[in-house]
A and B are shown apart, each in its own frame.
Chain A
Amino acid sequence: MNNTLYSGITVAIIAGVSLLLRGFAFIAFPEGASVPKLITRLGNVLPYGIMGFLVVYCLKDAHPLSYPYGLPQLIAVAITVILQAWRKNSLLSVLTGTVCYMIMVQMIFV
């Protein structure tokens, strides 16, 4: 498959599924319909599990057994965690963590 077509379909799938999710409640629960308990429960707890998964997903390509032993990731994650716990400012934590990581992979762990 050519790359433009593949990318176009992939973007369309992501956009389509996202739109469906955003609109689904309006289709599935017409006026007055009650929401099943199982659904409410999923809404309360799923975001927590998913975020744990996403962190692991992002770090899956770090190799702890060969140089640089996942050190840039480990250090940058630690900086992000400490800043976020301390200042509770996502922009600040994300920016600082990313800049530190970039400096490490470009200048220190080359």
Chain B
Amino acid sequence: MNRFNKPTLKKAFKDSLPVMAGYIFMGMGFGVLLQAKGYSFIWAGLMGLTIISGSMQYVAVDLLSGGASFITTAIMTLMINARYFFYGLSMLGKYREVERGRFYLVATLTDETFSLTSTFDENAPENNDVSRHAYYFLLSMMDHCYWIIGCTAGALIGSAGAFNTAGVEFAMTALFVAIFVDQWMSGKNHFYSVLGVVLSVALLLILGDSFVIPTMIILTLISMLRKPADEKEADSKTKEANTCE
């Protein structure tokens, strides 16, 4: 199960190609942005190596250049990257049995890597010669490398002054807008999408720049306390079943 063989390498590389395109491009956007705030490519590479999170690194540029407090930074990271906790939760079974390199698999879990490793089907006929644990490892490592390369390259290109980078920070806005649209079109949880926008705008108007932490807290509380539609449905079904009896 742990063998690194050719079919595994081939499969991992092939699956990683779309991630390569995305990470090099998004990483470069980050690198250019960070460099424009006066940080060298070493910082860009270091952040790509240790943070491994597109959205968070874009926000980090803003936090760094704005001189955010450490507590704001910690809470922002906690909220923006909370999804990693849930990815870990979903991969518990699959990653726990990996004996060597498990820490690396967990530490490099990203949206894209998760989407591939969580859906890898060992029993599919075309995956006969693919060893699962080696596939997880190779894929995680390839994605990680693309990301570091993208981040570093972006900062180098930015510092070479090849083009006017004014306005490149919009890449972060565009990324979140695109994800927001995807979430909206999935047809689920519109209430929470709207809540996120309305609550943030309201608190921004009232509190100004210090709206971040209050927004996060209220958003979490409402998300925890409000019963989503599918749970209500399940409840009413149980009730119906009970009355029928």
Contact = CB atoms under 8 A, between A and B. Distances in A.
Interface of A: 6-7, 9-15, 17-19, 21-26, 29, 31, 35, 38-39, 41-60, 72-73, 76-77, 80-81, 84-85, 88, 90-91, 93-95, 97-98, 101-106
Contact of A77 (B26, B39, B67, B177): B177
Interface stretch (B8-16, B126-134, B143-151, B182-190): B182-190
Interface stretch (B115-123, B152-160, B214-222, B236-244): B214-222
B86 A43 contact: yes
Contact of A57 (B95, B167, B212): B212
B25 interface: yes
19 contacts: A7-B39, A11-B46, A17-B78, A21-B82, A22-B87, A31-B96, A43-B85, A43-B86, A46-B219, A49-B192, A50-B196, A51-B193, A56-B204, A58-B173, A91-B22, A98-B174, A101-B167, A102-B166, A102-B167
Nearest to A103: B167
Given A45-B189, A84-B182, A18 B56 contact: yes
Contacts of A57: 59, 200, 212
A90 B178 contact: yes
Contacts of B220: 42, 46
A59 to B, nearest CB: 6
**Which of B95, B174, B222 gathers the greatest number of chain A CB atoms within 10 Å?**
B174
Contacts of B141: none
Contacts of A35: 89
Given A22-B88, A80-B178, A52 B200 contact: yes
Given A18-B52, A102-B167, A51 B196 contact: yes
Nearest to B25: A91
B21 interface: yes
Interface residues of B, number: 89
Contact of A9 (B70, B82, B167, B170): B70
A74 to B, nearest CB: 11
Give 9 nearest A-B pairs by CB, closest first: A52-B196, A56-B200, A48-B192, A25-B88, A102-B167, A49-B196, A97-B174, A101-B170, A15-B50
A82 to B, nearest CB: 9
B51 A93 contact: no
A29 B69 CA distance: 32
Given A11-B50, A14-B51, A77-B173, A55 B197 contact: yes
Contacts of A26: 88, 92, 95-96, 106
Contacts of A13: 70, 73-74, 77
Contacts of B181: 80-81, 84-85, 93
A105 B80 CA distance: 28
B228 interface: yes
